[in-house]
A and B are shown apart, each in its own frame.
Chain A
């Protein structure tokens, strides 16, 4: 009996191609939008997580100042080396503590010049920021201790000053300071947060302080937290330590800020995930609307096909067979719609991901879910019209014009 109904349903779908297509359109759009939205949202989340983790995980960046957009007033003081030393010795669970000072400078090599940022820091900076070397080496202990005029340059700087020529071992001038290139950083590319690490020159902290900035200010303290420790708790400990050292009384606002990369990562991926869910929910509504569309068209077709149903009953169809035929028609239509929707969403996700430069991810879980849901929609919204068709009085149905 099921086979009969299936055969009849398929015949009926094939016989009315346009009607069938219009019926499935709602489901196609519904499934395609749900799966596309969720897949793109997942791609965005993944992209955010990748970008944040490229900064280094469990990274605390401490800078003076009280938040964004606070113009006017006295500028809060920078940190000094004693602050750095205090953090290093008094706070447990820190893997790396790297003080950093920076200045704008024009780098000159022969006829080429390039305006860039100079960072004076320690080797911890490279480790904490996950910076790899393309060539050469980082600073030796002796160079750091003595404040030697050596530097590691970013790829952008190298490309602008040296083109295809060898840069290792050459000396470039930063303002008036000459320094020898001992290493070149691997290209990381744009698209992270924070500064462009390709466009910088890194020197030993001492060298930068003595010869470039001319003071003992530490503008940034970069801290890598040990994996086992909670970066938020450590951030709190550092805050109270620094407040004390900067003589901030109770009730006064912090005059420095700690950026926690983990918190940033969590917040951002949490946001994109919420957005994904929201978009998915909106799209799910269109799936339900698609289901109602199927019900609508099936109901109309019960009315249209009243005589046909009467004929079927008169020549020996059992009511269950009529019910089954209509139900299978609805389910088949919505399942076909679901399948087409999946194909559409796959292509759409691929194209959009390429267009807006997101990693292509296709969420097979949500695809399966949307497909099952579309078939359920077929059963749910197919039942009412099918029931109505099956309960028609054959005599009246036959008399129907």
Chain B
């Protein structure tokens, strides 16, 4: 297996001088291709900071980050945007869909930035909506969808570019437990059947139970990495 993500000695300092705050203090951590990683840890332990760096939205203060073997810190801002566009899908706690914009158009957006034709955009977006079971809701705007449905649109948007890895920062944080389970089953199926690697931040052990690997954070450091034999198998 190719190593998808390799992080070594990663630190992140916010601010400077007496106000400087070390959010990450030397993180080592790998993601193998096809893995499903759950990142756990108390609030403020640096999980989101870590995810933003993995997603190339932010840069580390020191340390190295290799994505598919390439050192990311040497890329320019635009190159990082292109990497994000090509290989990485984002799912956020707050869904972050464009308001007043139909599910279909939201899902089409990444393809639009990639310069796909109108027909290709439509086809790709409908296929992605199909994967999350929302083809019937393609024309609806976020305000007409439930939280669970919105998160599934967001997942479809992340999937539509057929990324190598899905980065999900507390994807079930805003959902009730029933919807949460639905989302987790969806992610799990995508990982198993679609071969998409997933890195997911969560507080809840029930959600982490779907992952193969659990990375525990504490105060900007990796406390433990657990390989799980018995991740929850999705009946399908």
A interface, CB within 8 angstroms of B: 1, 3-4, 7-8, 11, 15-16, 307-308, 310-321, 394-395, 398
Give CA–CA (A318, B78) in the complex, Å. 6
Contact of B109 among A315, A318, A398 (CB under 8 A): A315
Contact of A316 among B52, B58, B81 (CB under 8 A): B81
Contact of A15 among B90, B100, B112 (CB under 8 A): B100
Q: Hey, what's the 0/1 contact readout for B158-183 against A, CB within 8 Å counting as 1?
A: 10010000000000000000000000
Contact of A315 among B52, B77, B101, B110 (CB under 8 A): B110
Give CA–CA (A63, B31) in the complex, Å. 106
Contact A317 B96 (CB under 8 A): no
Contact A316 B84 (CB under 8 A): yes
Identify 9 new A-B residue pairs, CB closer than 8 A, beyond the known A7-B112, A316-B113: A1-B115, A4-B115, A11-B105, A308-B98, A315-B90, A316-B161, A318-B81, A319-B78, A398-B96
Contact A319 B112 (CB under 8 A): no
Residues of B within 8 A of A318 (CB): 78, 81-82, 113
Contact of B55 among A314, A317, A320 (CB under 8 A): A314
Q: Does B65 contact A (CB under 8 A)?
A: no
Q: Which residue of B lies closest to A307 (CB)?
A: B96
Residues of B within 8 A of A317 (CB): 81, 85, 113
Known: A308-B98, A319-B77. A8 touches B112 (CB 8 A): yes
- 10 closest A-B pairs by beta carbon, nearest first, are A316-B85, A318-B81, A315-B110, A311-B96, A394-B57, A316-B84, A316-B113, A318-B78, A317-B113, A314-B90
Contact A320 B57 (CB under 8 A): no
State how many angstroms separate the Cβ of A311 from the closest Cβ of chain B: 5
Give CA–CA (A357, B85) in the complex, Å. 64
Q: Which residue of A lies closest to B95 (CB)?
A: A311
State how many angstroms separate the Cβ of B20 from the closest Cβ of chain A: 18
Q: Does B157 contact A (CB under 8 A)?
A: yes
Q: Does B210 contact A (CB under 8 A)?
A: no
Contact of A314 among B57, B82, B86, B101 (CB under 8 A): B57
Q: Which residue of A lies closest to B158 (CB)?
A: A315
Residues of A within 8 A of B115 (CB): 1, 3-4
Q: Identify the interface centre among A7, A11, A16, A318: most chain B CB within 10 Å of its CB.
A: A318
Give CA–CA (A312, B97) in the complex, Å. 10
Residues of A within 8 A of B92 (CB): 314, 398
Q: Does B74 contact A (CB under 8 A)?
A: no
Residues of B within 8 A of A316 (CB): 81-82, 84-86, 110, 113-114, 161
Contact B52 A395 (CB under 8 A): yes
State how many angstroms separate the Cβ of B10 from the closest Cβ of chain A: 16
Give CA–CA (A308, B96) in the complex, Å. 8
Residues of A within 8 A of B114 (CB): 316
Give CA–CA (A1, B116) in the complex, Å. 11
Give CA–CA (A312, B90) in the complex, Å. 11
Give CA–CA (A8, B157) in the complex, Å. 17
Give CA–CA (A198, B115) in the complex, Å. 75
State how many angstroms separate the Cβ of B181 from the closest Cβ of chain A: 26
Residues of A within 8 A of B86 (CB): 316
Q: Which residue of A lies closest to B85 (CB)?
A: A316
Give CA–CA (A16, B92) in the complex, Å. 26
State how many angstroms separate the Cβ of A128 from the closest Cβ of chain B: 74
Known: A4-B113, A308-B98. A314 touches B78 (CB 8 A): no
Contact A315 B157 (CB under 8 A): yes
Contact A314 B98 (CB under 8 A): no
Give CA–CA (A171, B119) in the complex, Å. 91
Q: Identify the interface centre among B81, B84, B90, B96: most chain A CB within 10 Å of its CB.
A: B81
Interface residues of B in 6-57 (CB under 8 A from A): 52, 55, 57
Give CA–CA (A315, B167) in the complex, Å. 11
Contact of B101 among A15, A313, A319 (CB under 8 A): A15
State how many angstroms separate the Cβ of B191 from the closest Cβ of chain A: 20
Known: A314-B84, A315-B90, A316-B81. A321 touches B55 (CB 8 A): no
12 chain-A/chain-B pairs, Cβ below 8 angstroms: A4-B113, A311-B96, A313-B57, A313-B81, A315-B158, A316-B81, A316-B86, A316-B110, A316-B114, A317-B81, A319-B81, A394-B57
Residues of B within 8 A of A315 (CB): 84-85, 90, 109-110, 113, 157-158
Q: Which residue of A lies closest to B87 (CB)?
A: A316
Give CA–CA (A381, B85) in the complex, Å. 30
Give CA–CA (A316, B58) in the complex, Å. 13
State how many angstroms separate the Cβ of A337 from the closest Cβ of chain B: 23
Residues of B within 8 A of A11 (CB): 105
Residues of B within 8 A of A307 (CB): 96
Give CA–CA (A395, B100) in the complex, Å. 22
Residues of B within 8 A of A320 (CB): 78
Q: Which residue of B lies closest to A401 (CB)?
A: B94
